[in-house]
């Protein structure tokens, strides 16, 4: 991935001068912030990006570096801007559903901030957690969001700007709403995957693989739901992953992953959960602890595309992936280009709308 990258040091500017075409590795656009020109170790000359998030319209994505500087990238307008300084580590980041101008930003002080993505204005600061928030899950119908920390999992009303209630008895590692919004899914290392009816939050089901005979309970690290809402995949800290058929709530497959999932990126859908209209795709993306992003076809776990080599976090939207790499770069990658180079579209991609091409336009 070594090629020209837009320098973010100025705080705002254009991402490209003419419409980019995907390179052999699928890279469309790269960006990074040069902070120390004289450091003899090249990797230390750049800030690393700790969090990335894609908007539901695919027009923009956001990224935060280790100092809490929040950048927003507008692809149709061909511009980026530093919109907010948290002045501390940001532990989770996501766009609000239906309000792509709003970002939920979780900080190391255990607060959650609602920030305008165009002006950086802080709309609200939500405080109730005692431990830093590690996951933010907005509801598809805009009003609610769930936050996960080691202390509790909490449901928030984003219109009233208050905590509604705790979810379950313990903190969870991850949460997500189904695209329809009628089910909340949480993952706890001790209790496995829990499905709750929403908005009542009555328990619907618990999904946990049977442990080996005489062995300890299976501990799950990450989960993701396919865009067609048919399957849920949950991965362990090793190479094992389990596939459930969601309508019947039955486990149908155990697959062996090419590498253990990363503690940072883990499993993610190819479409943000904030999208209420989902295509018929049955694919997920996984970040392995080897730094490679792989697209998996579910339920069999076949790899249909491979991206990058030194990634530690990513966000996806259909045929576009934003990857943060260990050299301090952000890369926007084109999955359709990688697929076409490997012999055309794979099964399960029929009818999927391709991402709009990037154009050469002046920044607004």
The pLDDT value given to residue 180: 85
- Classify strands 49-54 and 144-149 as parallel, antiparallel or unpaired: unpaired
Interatomic CA distance for residues 294 and 298, integer angstroms: 12
Question: Which residue's entry shows tokens 């695919």?
Answer: 58
Three state DSSP letters for 155-173? EEECCCCEEEEECCCCCCC
Ranges of residues in the chain with a pLDDT under 70 are 1-4, 35-46, 273-280, 341-364
Any domain includes 132: yes
- Name the residue range of residue 287's domain: 20-341
Q: What angle do CA 204, 210, 216 make, to 5 degrees?
A: 120
Interatomic CA distance for residues 46 and 9, integer angstroms: 10
- Give how many domains the chain has, as a whole number: 1
The pLDDT value given to residue 170: 80
Q: Kindly report the number of other CB atoms within 10 A of residue 116's CB atom.
A: 16
Q: Model's pTM, two decimal places?
A: 0.89
Any domain includes 351: no
Q: What is the CATH number of the domain that holds 242?
A: 2.130.10.10
The pLDDT value given to residue 40: 61
Contact 284, 270 (CB under 8 A): yes
The pLDDT value given to residue 179: 82
Interatomic CA distance for residues 343 and 34, integer angstroms: 38
The pLDDT value given to residue 43: 55
Any domain includes 217: yes
The pLDDT value given to residue 362: 43
Contact 165, 156 (CB under 8 A): no
Question: Which residue's entry shows tokens 């935060």?
Answer: 64
Any domain includes 347: no
Any domain includes 354: no
Residues 245-267: tens digit of each pLDDT? 999 999 999 999 999 999 877 89
Any domain includes 60: yes
Nearest one of 99, 171, 159 to 130, comparing CA atoms: 171
Any domain includes 80: yes
Any domain includes 118: yes
Residues 321-357: tens digit of each pLDDT? 999 999 889 999 999 888 876 433 333 333 344 455 5
């Amino acid at each position: 991935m070594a090629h020209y990258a837009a320098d973010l040091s100025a705080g705002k500017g254009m991402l490209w001068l003419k419409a980019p075409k995907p390179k052999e590795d699928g890279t469309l656009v790269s960006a990074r912030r040069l902070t120390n020109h004289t450091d003899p170790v090249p990797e230390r000359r750049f800030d690393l990006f700790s969090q990335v998030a894609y908007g539901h319209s695919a027009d923009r994505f956001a990224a935060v570096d280790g100092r809490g500087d929040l950048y927003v990238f507008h692809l149709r307008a061909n511009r980026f801007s530093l919109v907010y300084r948290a002045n501390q580590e940001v532990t989770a980041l996501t766009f609000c559903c239906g309000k792509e101008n709003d970002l939920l930003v979780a900080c190391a002080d255990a607060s959650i901030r609602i920030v305008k993505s165009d002006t950086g204005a802080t709309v609200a600061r939500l405080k109730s957690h005692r431990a830093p928030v590690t996951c933010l899950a907005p509801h598809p119908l805009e009003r609610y969001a769930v936050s996960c920390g080691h202390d509790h999992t909490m449901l928030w009303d984003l219109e009233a700007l208050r905590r509604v209630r705790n979810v379950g008895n313990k903190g969870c590692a991850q949460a997500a709403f189904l695209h329809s919004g009628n089910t909340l899914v949480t993952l706890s290392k001790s209790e496995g995957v829990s499905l709750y009816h929403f908005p009542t939050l009555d328990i619907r089901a618990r999904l946990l693989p049977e442990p080996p005979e005489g062995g300890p309970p299976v501990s799950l690290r990450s989960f993701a739901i396919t865009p067609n809402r048919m399957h849920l995949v949950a991965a362990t800290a090793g190479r094992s992953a389990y596939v459930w058929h969601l309508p019947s709530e039955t486990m149908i497959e155990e697959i062996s992953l090419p590498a253990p999932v990363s503690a940072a990126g883990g499993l993610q859908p190819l479409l943000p959960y904030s999208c209420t209209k989902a295509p018929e795709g049955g694919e997920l993306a996984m970040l392995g602890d080897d730094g490679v992003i792989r697209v998996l076809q579910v339920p069999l776990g076949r790899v249909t595309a491979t991206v990058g080599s030194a990634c530690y976090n990513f966000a996806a939207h259909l045929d576009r992936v934003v990857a943060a790499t260990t050299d301090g770069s952000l890369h926007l990658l084109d999955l359709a280009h990688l697929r076409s180079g490997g012999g055309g579209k794979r099964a399960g991609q029929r009818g999927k709308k391709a991402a709009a091409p990037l154009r050469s336009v002046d920044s607004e």
